[in-house]
Structure 1
Amino acid sequence: MSYGEGAELGFCEEAESWNLLSRYLPSKVGGKPSWLDLKNIPKSSDLKCLNCGKGLAFLLQLYAPVDDSNGEPVKATCYHRTVFVFCCKECGKTFKTFRSQLPQRNEFYPPEDPEDRENWHPEIIVDKFTKVCSYCGCGSMSVCSKCKKRSYCGREHQIADWSKHKKFCQNTNGSQTKEEESRNDFLFPEFKIVIEEETLGKVEKTVKCELNRLNDLKKEGKAGIFADDPTVDAELNAIGTSEDKHFMKFKDLIKHNQDQVIRYNKAKPLWVSDKNIPSEIDIAKCQYCDGKRTFEFQVMPQLLNSLNLDPLKDPLDWGTLAIFTCENNCDEGPNYKEEFIWKQDFGGCIKPEVTSRQQGNAQIVCS
């Protein structure tokens, strides 16, 4: 990813499961995480919801090495770089994001770019370096006491997996296939994220025309949602007017690429409302180097359409998730460094509580 002015858009595409493994350095949605650093992966204690205590589910990862204007890595230690996003499926109130980076020469991958073929370096697997939970893919703490073949991050996922695993546990005549292992209700559907450049000319012209039209309507007193209803309280009318500009820009920018699930644009987020927009002081500094965090990319609400959610039962929802990362791409701290998410809902919401800000914790819990 570069520091260009235009946005790069991410779209969901079906892909062969082998093409989404760690050794192919994928950007993807759902399934289990395809870890970058294969040894020092987050444990279950790193991926707990502070609201309900349940384990967080893997939402997506974006392979995002940062290059300078000459196309060279800004730092030798982040030749490879992936940002991971997790969320709570149980209550929908906690989101976490982690950054992992590696130099070109490292203990996991060859220095050349991966080749797009299934048998390319099949020995590069996470199990070679550490054990991961068979249910969710994060760091494991125990194994099945009977067969000793299935690893788990804790009792919660071992119990959840038992209904499927019991058919194979201690069965010497058969074992779970990789496909069977990868399917469970905790995981989101898996897709590859493909990146395309946004075409700006037509979009910018449309937005400019619409904003000019909005300004004309404001001068005539017709811009508010309730402008033609004299019985509506003036304050409500003012709220409708002030929200038009942000939502109109959001709507007009995305209508040309309605399936976009990622907007990668280091300039600024595309907010869905004028409510609950963070100020600079709201963005916690990096807890590892005390450096400034800057906006990197955002997760769009269109992604919700691909997650097989039941709108009547599942609480997960957002207008946009803005990801802020350390501008220094620092190397201090753990190999998976927690970064910062700001969740904004359509129409605004109660300002999120930033937990443990004194410790630099970047987790957001929305009220």
Structure 2
Amino acid sequence: MAAGGRVELGFVEEAPAWRLLSRYFPSKVGGRPAWLGQARLPVPEELRCGCCQQPCAFLLQVYAPVSGRTDCFHRTLFLFCCRNPVCYSPSDNRCFRVFRNQLPRKNDTYSYDPPPEEPPLEGPTCVDLQLQSGVPLCRVCGCLGPKTCARCHKAHYCSKDHQVLDWKAGHKQYCSIQSDHSDVALPDHKFLFPEYEIVIEPEEVEYKEEMQEDVDSSVNTKTCTDATAAAVSGMQLECLNEEELEAMAKHETKEDKVFEEFKKRIALEPEQILRYCAGGDPIWISSEKVPQEKEILNCPCGAKRIFEFQVMPQLLNYLKADSLDESIDWGTLVAYTCSEHCSCENKYTEEFMWKQDFLCT
């Protein structure tokens, strides 16, 4: 992955299931997490929505090793989100959780050498619900599963919420069967997002100064009368003095400029769902609700967090998350991670996520 100003773009592609397994160190969207480290996974309480307290769903992961750091030879960022549309209120980041995990090249789980580029001779016939270390995973979401079915003691869950969901989806039909259930296909719980591989490519075309000049020109030719017309629609003009009208005009012009910059930049590659540039700068859809430095919480190790990647609104087109005319939504999701790439003490460390919406009030 790029750092220091070079931008890399992520695009979704269909991929065979074997390429999305943990041992191939994938970047991917949806399905169950392809966990990197086998120990000290996020506990269920860490993966609950901060608004409704329901379990979050796995959204995506990005494989992002750090060059020159032996302890970050393998490094992956995991992003989770709530599936409840009502939790997506403007400027509320609590429905997202992002975690970082990293390993040295020599570790107890993966081969020292790169994985082969061809499919394994004997692939799994069903979803693997147990890590190589023996840690059980939830049948519904693929996260840590410390709870078990009280009846068969073989099905594992992250929470009572997912135990109930699995029971209704079909577990009750074979719960008492005297087997390990490994030959029983998992039902569709309607909880996971569709699964895709994220393919990374460099941003080939740089954002040229003349494009910026075009934006400035189109914005500056907009009159104050045009800019304030919509803003004062339905209001009595005499209620606003000249200074207030001028301030509104400037605000509208600034917002138009920022949004036009955003559209110009992504128009070069309209299918991008992710932008990666560790230590660089995100592109914003609005001048409103851009985090101040003090709002980006430091890492528990004390180091500042820096921008690493952002998720683009185009990803929403692939998630099939609409329900009764409601959907999860965002303008852009921006992830900030520890600038020192601290060791994490061999655990999954939570990082900082910021959500910016298209309409900020």
| TM-score normalised by structure 1 residue count | 0.84
Distance 1:221 1:142, change over 3 A: closer
| 1:322 matched residue in structure 2 | 334
Equivalent in 340, 363, 366 of residue 352 of structure 2: 340
Distance 1:87 1:290, change over 3 A: same
Q: Does 1:183 align with 2:188?
A: yes
Cα distance, 1:260 vs structure 2: 0.7
State the number of aligned residues: 339
Question: Are the equivalent residues in 2 in contact too, given 1:57–1:187 (CA < 8 A)?
Answer: yes
| 2:61 matched residue in structure 1 | 61
| 1:103 matched residue in structure 2 | 104
AA aligned to 1:149 is K
SS for the counterpart of 1:237 is: helix
Q: How does 1:1-367 map to 2 (within 5 A)?
A: 1-67=1-67, 73=68, 75-90=69-84, 91-92=87-88, 93-119=94-120, 126-129=130-133, 130-163=135-168, 164-171=170-177, 175=181, 180-181=185-186, 183-201=188-206, 203-205=207-209, 207-214=211-218, 216-217=220-221, 221=224, 224=227, 226=229, 234=245, 235-266=247-278, 267-287=280-300, 289-310=301-322, 312-333=324-345, 335-349=347-361
Query: Where does structure 2 lack aligned partners over 5 or more consecutive residues?
Result: 89-93
Cα separation, 2, equivalents of 1:268 and 1:222: 34
SS for the counterpart of 1:137 is: coil
Question: Are the equivalent residues in 1 in contact too, given 2:12–2:199 (CA < 8 A)?
Answer: yes
Cα separation, 2, equivalents of 1:334 and 1:314: 39
| 1:70 matched residue in structure 2 | none
Cα distance, 1:239 vs structure 2: 2.7
Cα distance, 1:153 vs structure 2: 1.2
Cα separation, 1, equivalents of 2:5 and 2:122: 36
Distance 1:276 1:312, change over 3 A: farther
Cα distance, 1:28 vs structure 2: 0.5
Alignment RMSD (CA, Å): 2.7
Cα separation, 1, equivalents of 2:327 and 2:212: 36
Question: Are the equivalent residues in 1 in contact too, given 2:102–2:346 (CA < 8 A)?
Answer: no
SS for the counterpart of 1:181 is: coil
Larger RCO: 1 or 2 (CA < 8 Å, sep 6+): 2
AA aligned to 2:30 is G
Deviations 1:79-105 (A, max 9, x none): 000000111112335111000000000
Distance 1:199 1:225, change over 3 A: farther
Deviations 1:165-192 (A, max 9, x none): 22332335894658x4273211111110
| 2:91 matched residue in structure 1 | none
Identical aligned pairs, as a percentage? 40
- Segments ≥4 residues shifted beyond 6 Å: 120-125, 227-233
Distance 1:121 1:6, change over 3 A: farther
Cα distance, 1:143 vs structure 2: 2.0
Question: Are the equivalent residues in 2 in contact too, given 1:274–1:348 (CA < 8 A)?
Answer: no
AA aligned to 1:26 is P
SS for the counterpart of 2:137 is: coil
Distance 1:33 1:286, change over 3 A: same
AA aligned to 2:174 is F
